[in-house]
Structure 1
Amino acid sequence: MTAAPIEGGVRRNRVAAFFGRHPVGMILSAPYAVYIAVVFAYPLGFSLWISFHDYFFAAPGAVVDHPFVGFDNYKAVLTDPAVRQSFGNIGIFLIINVPLTAALALILAVALNRVVHARTFLRVAFYVPYVTASVAVVGVWLFLFNSGGLVNSVLGPFAPDPSWLVNEGLAMPVIALFVVWKQLGFFILLYLAALQNVPNELYESASVDGANGWNKFWSITVPAVRPATALVVILALITGANLFTEPYLLTGGGGPNGASTSPVLLMYQRGLQQGEPDFAAALGVILVIGVLIVALINRRFIEGKD
């Protein structure tokens, strides 16, 4: 007699557990879930499938075999000197870009948080490069750092030879600085939002105890914005891992001699320009795994979570 009500109650509990306390939230988030599935999940799954097959582009409507090749594509990627060079290049980029981005964004956010006059103007000024198209701002940096550019004119005999963007040792550092400058406004806003949650009473208590500005910054501000720092570092790492537009435009496609080629740029060159999508897919899967590992390490050591 009571089995049916019990089963009905269990079914309702399962439905409630799936949809949560507010089912309307599931309905409102459904379009974004579909977007994630279509734009991210399906391409990632298809790339994974391609990476284990001998895949090549064919004419529309043509039916061709794509035999399973196991880990052959991954072996080709891991033994390719150009791939190793591209990961080395992105390592140089990250070593320069990530710490500089986090440090400058935090320092400037703290300074902007204390500004009384023209605060809105300064925030907008820092944010403008972020929302400006890369193609437009790249022209400015080409004007600054080409052989006859403004920077070399100022440096005179101290200018590097070959110049910045055609110098194998300087091309990637210049790109890293460009990305720092372009992305800085966004990260400043993240830190500004985090600073609003730091109670002023902590700084007042520190002042009473005789703490100076540096002590307050290091002992109060830095620990208080640690979750924001973890987010900044993760986003900067993802930006570096997806680096494409900047080397493609600034150095003409990864020059000189591949010194500024990134893994994503190499995927474009090998997958589309040279017709090796299986190689590019395997490289993309390795890149995704690498980014996930680095993000987990960052979460463990910066954010302090297991």
Structure 2
Amino acid sequence: MIREAERATATTTAGVTDEGAVRSSGARSTLERDRRRLFLPFVLPALVLYLVFFIGPALAAVWISFTRWNGSTDAEWVGTRNYEVLVDDPVFHTAFVNTLLILVVVGVVVFVIAFGLTMVLREMRGRNAVRSILFTPYMVSAIVLSILWGFIFQYDGLVNSLLEAFGMEPVKWLSAGNLMPMILLGMVWINVGLYAMIILAAVDRIPNQYYEDAALAGTNSLQRFFYVTLPMTWDVVAVAATLWTINSLKIFEFIFAFGGTTTDLPSTDVWNSALFVYGMSFGGRTPAYAFGYASAAAVLMLILFAVFVILLRRIMRREPIEF
């Protein structure tokens, strides 16, 4: 009797389990059908906009890069001629070097300062107010910042006034030889707040127990940075470095406004890739409105920076640390 009751109970339990599995499978199938049904109305509009306003113009730029076209007459197919001229163009070489300077020099300085600010702010009271102050330059228009930066460093500006107050000679900060370093310094000032906020958000999620254990082990602040902070924020740092690599290719307004005026382009000595493309397209260079040549420069710079991003992601790839 007992064995029969046990068999009956097992059969009933198995039946309930099978019925629950069938219901669960049916619910999953319904959910999958709902997802497929909702995919098109939600994703298709964004996909169409992406194709029309990004992929389409990008493919058109690639085609235009193989032509000679001034925007009004019929495009003339010239094959790889634009790319061949680019390789020997000293202005393009200067623009490429300046773009690399922005990428590497400004990037390294921004991340070093951002990490330094992060370690200071982590222990500071009222750090939210300091965060807002640091982030302000990134929220303000680049044109406004360029005017302010020029006011600070012009010959009779704020910095030289302070130098004269201490009995020192004023410096021509905005002379031709100093213009590019001042642009790089301005880029640091604008971007350091954003990346400090990104890194600080990553540091905030690290439990204090790790820092306390490291302190009990006799480590100093620098050792705690390399053994605790950096490894545990590495995934965020990798994403931020990729973001900076992409953004450094697109910097335009600050250099355009700070290095020249709204009607005259700045000297080609401070051109970066974005200014080169603009200058060749609309800047009154000879030949004027060389859209094919400018498109070739844009395509070439895009390919080079895509390679940089891929290499950067490979170099910074690590297994994520879970905590």
TM-score (norm 1): 0.83
Which secondary structure state, in structure 2, belongs to the residue aligned with residue 164 of structure 1?
coil
Is the Cα contact below 8 Å between 2:199 and 2:233 reproduced in 1? yes
Match of 1:142 in 2: 150
Which secondary structure state, in structure 2, belongs to the residue aligned with residue 210 of structure 1?
coil
Match of 1:96 in 2: 105
From the superposition, tell whether residues 249 and 206 of structure 1 become closer, same or farther in structure 2 (CA, over 3 Å). same
CA shift at 1:199, angstroms? 2.5
Match of 1:5 in 2: none
CA RMSD of aligned residues (A): 2.4
Is the Cα contact below 8 Å between 1:48 and 1:281 reproduced in 2? yes
CA shift at 1:193, angstroms? 2.0
From the superposition, tell whether residues 72 and 246 of structure 1 become closer, same or farther in structure 2 (CA, over 3 Å). same
CA shift at 1:158, angstroms? 5.1
Match of 1:264 in 2: 274
CA shift at 1:277, angstroms? 0.2
Matching of residue 215 in structure 1 with residue 193 in structure 2: no
Match of 2:136 in 1: 128
Is the Cα contact below 8 Å between 1:96 and 1:173 reproduced in 2? no
- Letter matched to residue 246 of structure 1: F
Match of 1:57 in 2: 71
Is the Cα contact below 8 Å between 2:145 and 2:254 reproduced in 1? no
Map 1:154-173 to 2 at 5 A. 154-156=162-164, 157=168, 159-160=170-171, 163-168=172-177, 170-173=178-181
Q: Deviations over 1:18-56 (max 9, x none)?
A: x99676466544444333323321221110010012222
Supply the distance in 1 between the matched residues of 2:128 and 2:39 (Cα, whole angstroms). Answer: 34
Structure 1 unaligned regions, length at least 5? 1-12, 59-63
Matching of residue 248 in structure 1 with residue 256 in structure 2: yes
Is the Cα contact below 8 Å between 1:93 and 1:172 reproduced in 2? no
Is the Cα contact below 8 Å between 1:73 and 1:278 reproduced in 2? yes
- Which structure: larger Rg? 2
From the superposition, tell whether residues 146 and 40 of structure 1 become closer, same or farther in structure 2 (CA, over 3 Å). same
CA shift at 1:220, angstroms? 0.8
- Letter matched to residue 283 of structure 1: A
Match of 1:225 in 2: 233
Supply the distance in 1 between the matched residues of 2:52 and 2:299 (Cα, whole angstroms). Answer: 18
- Letter matched to residue 233 of structure 2: V
- Letter matched to residue 71 of structure 1: T
The list of structure 1 runs, each at least 4 consecutive aligned residues, that deviate by more than 4 angstroms after superposition, is 19-27, 156-159
Out of 61, 69, 82, which is 2:78 matched to?
A: 69
- Letter matched to residue 242 of structure 1: K
From the superposition, tell whether residues 200 and 291 of structure 1 become closer, same or farther in structure 2 (CA, over 3 Å). same
Matching of residue 197 in structure 1 with residue 211 in structure 2: no
Matching of residue 188 in structure 1 with residue 196 in structure 2: yes
From the superposition, tell whether residues 285 and 196 of structure 1 become closer, same or farther in structure 2 (CA, over 3 Å). same
From the superposition, tell whether residues 48 and 215 of structure 1 become closer, same or farther in structure 2 (CA, over 3 Å). same
Out of 82, 88, 101, which is 2:91 matched to?
A: 82
CA shift at 1:251, angstroms? 1.1
CA shift at 1:249, angstroms? 0.6
Structure 2 unaligned regions, length at least 5? 1-28
Supply the distance in 2 between the matched residues of 1:205 and 1:112 (Cα, whole angstroms). Answer: 20
Is the Cα contact below 8 Å between 1:171 and 1:260 reproduced in 2? yes
From the superposition, tell whether residues 158 and 23 of structure 1 become closer, same or farther in structure 2 (CA, over 3 Å). farther
- Letter matched to residue 130 of structure 2: L
From the superposition, tell whether residues 292 and 213 of structure 1 become closer, same or farther in structure 2 (CA, over 3 Å). same
